[in-house]
């Protein structure tokens, strides 16, 4: 199980190798993705809070990267954080999410990206439920839910 110590260490010192790599140029991503998905996942924007139907849904399922279809999260780790974005306590496997220090809004945060294609997913915080105490605050547009 990942902890805040592990996440912080990876953000500072680097991430383990990704299980695979998907690399495309920007023009290809623009052509393949819906404009709103491109803005979130490739341009690093944040969707409006409470704009995703995924926020309150905790039905069984698995969540994949909207860009490369890598399995990122499972509904067994999803919870309603009340923040306005889908939230999870752990990734599907420890190596599918990468961590990066982010001081873009005058505070230190940890950005999370898909380790396979570098899509911006959201951020992780140390205020989630036990046992991990992690809250992966993820843009719903960066995810596609399996049935």
Catalytic residues: 137
Helix or strand (DSSP H, E) at 28: helix 26-32
C-beta pairs of 101-110 under 8 Å, 24+ apart in sequence: 101/11, 101/12, 110/7, 110/8, 110/11
Burial class (CB in 10 A: 0-12, 13-18, 19+), 80: exposed
Looking up tokens 């052509």 gives: 31
């Amino acid at each position: 199980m990942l902890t805040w110590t592990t996440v912080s260490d990876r953000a500072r010192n680097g991430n383990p190798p990704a299980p695979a790599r998907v690399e495309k140029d920007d023009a290809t991503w623009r052509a393949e993705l819906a404009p709103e998905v491109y803005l979130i996942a490739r341009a690093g924007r944040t969707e409006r809070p409470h704009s995703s139907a995924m926020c309150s849904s905790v039905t069984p399922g698995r969540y994949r990267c909207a860009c490369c279809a890598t399995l990122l999260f499972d509904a067994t780790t999803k919870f309603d954080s009340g923040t306005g974005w889908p939230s999870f306590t752990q990734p599907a496997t420890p190596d599918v999410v990468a961590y990066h220090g982010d001081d873009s809004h005058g505070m230190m945060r940890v950005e999370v990206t898909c380790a396979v294609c570098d899509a911006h997913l959201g951020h992780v915080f140390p205020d989630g439920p036990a046992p991990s105490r992690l809250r992966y605050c993820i843009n719903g547009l960066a995810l596609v839910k399996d049935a």
